[in-house]
Structure 1
């Protein structure tokens, strides 16, 4: 294993200040002591965490969604995902997001792992779940939420990744985690 118990690269927080306190995101600025004893400033975003769901239909197709993402001013194809509410269990969040966004419930759930999508500027973590034995029950979109539900075979999804039609980082990472586990 590559991780050491005592990490010689650790930076120690000396002080912190909240620079921005938004609805979803919080921006912090910390002064830290570096491993060589010098100090530096670290600015980063605090995020409540999220889930992403790899939902598979009986024929092997995967459920995806196409959604407009404002920061990049365009639509993206991505796996169903969403923010963890305060105090919410991660599997309960995955179940809620699958139902709300794409209208499915799953009989079998497997937690596949955790990914950290933006380690240079955010503490966000995304919990990856596999959802199987799906039943369509109808979506429950939040107010102001608009998306299209898609289903793609693994070959179609591979082609969409290869062509650059799927570029969402959490989707690509979650699919990689699933493949590494033989799914």
Structure 2
């Protein structure tokens, strides 16, 4: 593995925002030559596959400015510095959907775009859902519509490109696999 490592010679932060920071890194390549890398630093995130007692998937529809459109996604959110991902998953589920859960299971963690970003998403499965009357509020700049979809409806949303992000597609494919294994 050492024969593939790029050693950082110099790193300069050129932007620091509310969610991400951007660094330009000068690196030494395995062949001794030098190159530059643009690296996005992100604190990480969680995503929750929340299944109702009626076996529906709880989703949120929201506008994504980078895409200039709305998409339907599983509830998700950014980790706060030092925050336990499981606590963040509980918080985001409640904030975005007003649901709380009896059980929360970590399914996997994955890097979203390792070619230029260090963002990692921890994906949880939430069951035993119940609505909370006075749930935590959404962030002040966050607006969502709640949808509860059957697996077949979610698959159709993928075909219609209403569901169009990797974490949600992963969630649907995970549920499809679990359904197939149960047969």
Identify whether the pair has TM-score above 0.5, normalized to the shorter chain.
yes
- State the partner residue of 2:127: 132
- State the partner residue of 1:3: none
1-structure distance, mates of 2:81, 2:175: 27
Aligned residue for 1:8, secondary structure, equals helix
CA deviation map 1:56-81 (0-9, x unaligned) = 01121100010011122211100000
In terms of mean alpha carbon deviation, does 129-138 or 161-170 score higher? 161-170
2-structure distance, mates of 1:72, 1:100: 23
User: Which among 33, 36, 40 is matched to residue 45 of structure 1?
Assistant: 40
2-structure distance, mates of 1:11, 1:177: 34
For structure 1, the 5+ residue unaligned runs are: 1-5
For structure 2, the 5+ residue unaligned runs are: none
Is residue 2:140 matched to residue 1:123? no
TM-score with structure 1 length normalisation? 0.90
2-structure distance, mates of 1:125, 1:46: 10
CA deviation map 1:105-126 (0-9, x unaligned) = 0001100011111112211000
Is residue 2:164 matched to residue 1:167? yes
1-structure distance, mates of 2:158, 2:81: 33
Q: Pick closer, same or farther for the CA change 1:14–1:126 going to 2, 3 Å.
A: same
RMSD over equivalenced CA pairs, Å: 1.7
1-structure distance, mates of 2:172, 2:116: 23
Q: Pick closer, same or farther for the CA change 1:134–1:101 going to 2, 3 Å.
A: same
